[in-house]
Amino acid sequence: QVQLQESGPGLVKPSQTLSLTCTVSGGSISSGSYYWSWIRQPAGKGLEWIGRIYTSGSTNYNPSLKSRVTISVDTSKNQFSLKLSSVTAADTAVYYCARDYPPLAWFDPWGQGTLVTVSS
Amino acid sequence: NFMLTQPHSVSESPGKTVTISCTRSSGSIASNYVQWYQQRPGSSPTTVIYEDNQRPSGVPDRFSGSIDSSSNSASLTISGLKTEDEADYYCQSYDSSNQRVFGGGTKLTVL
């Protein structure tokens, strides 16, 4: 079955850009009508949806983060990526990637998550 | 955007039944499907209910979901509580502009 795995630097300096990649295995990122989402969770807090992308490149972003977020897809590598600019300590969180099934807006499966700390 | 409001925490004894509510602030709860996720410490969320009341394979039938239009809320009910059910539970839905929203999460303690 489809599995997702996040990767990227675990430490980012304030004001810099956070960059993460999600690799999809066990199936093609282009198959089906799925979108691919990023979700984050600060320590001890709840889940926050960041945004999603379709393999055509069509995106939707959380309005609260839209000015700083870019999500892209590389179908040749079966990957999609997140860039979050001008980060602050408030962006410190576990970042998850997940498959987004549009008719239901259902996130399944999820990656294992990767902790990104923003600190100098 | 709308919000989904959940109780911060609930607790119940093993063998009992507990219900976690999720109230939508604007827009009809019945207009957009609701999902429920279970998250144990140190793990990724997993689905216990999707499409308001459907259980993925492998999720026991002790878990059920429902929608109440009169209170504009969704509910997750867990019957025959087991200690292994102790976790954080999140509801999630969306709106017509394709914004996905999570509830704040409910910590379930089985004591």
Express each pLDDT in A33-70 by its tens digit: 899 999 999 999 999 999 999 999 999 999 999 999 99
Probe site for chain B from A3, A39, A107 (most B CB atoms < 10 A): A107
CB B98 within 8 A of CB B32: no
End-to-end CA distance of chain B: 36
Probe site for chain A from B6, B20, B34, B44 (most A CB atoms < 10 A): B44
Phi, psi at residue A7, to the nearest 5°? Answer: -150, 155
Q: Residue A81 to residues A1, A20, A78, B86: CA-CA distances in angstroms?
A: 21, 6, 10, 33
Does residue A106 sit at the B interface (CB-CB below 8 Å)?
yes
Q: Residue A39 to residues A51, A101, B75, B96: CA-CA distances in angstroms?
A: 7, 14, 23, 19
Residue B1 has pLDDT above 90, yes or no: no
> Hey, how many other C-beta atoms are within 10 angstroms of the C-beta on B107?
16
CB B76 within 8 A of CB B23: no
| Nearest residue of B to residue A37, measured between CA atoms | B100
Tell me: the pLDDT tens digits for A11-39? 999 999 999 999 999 999 998 889 999 99
Please judge whether B50 and A37 are an interchain contact, meaning their C-beta atoms are less than 8 angstroms apart: no
| Nearest residue of B to residue A46, measured between CA atoms | B104
For residues A81-90, give the mean pLDDT. 98
HSE-up of B12 (CA within 13 Å, CB side)?
20
| Residue burial A68-79, b: 16+ Cβ < 10 Å; e: rest | bbbbebeeeebb
β-pair type (B106-110, A48-53): unpaired
Q: Residue A21 to residues A2, A8, A70, A74: CA-CA distances in angstroms?
A: 16, 6, 12, 10
Average model confidence (pLDDT) across chain B: 97
| Nearest residue of A to residue B36, measured between CA atoms | A106
Q: Which of B90, B6, B67, B25 lies closest to A48 in space, CA to CA?
A: B90
Please judge whether A100 and B100 are an interchain contact, meaning their C-beta atoms are less than 8 angstroms apart: yes
Residue A102 has pLDDT above 90, yes or no: no
Residue A103 has pLDDT above 90, yes or no: no
pLDDT of residue B79: 98
For residues B16-40, give the mean pLDDT. 97
Residue B73 has pLDDT above 90, yes or no: yes
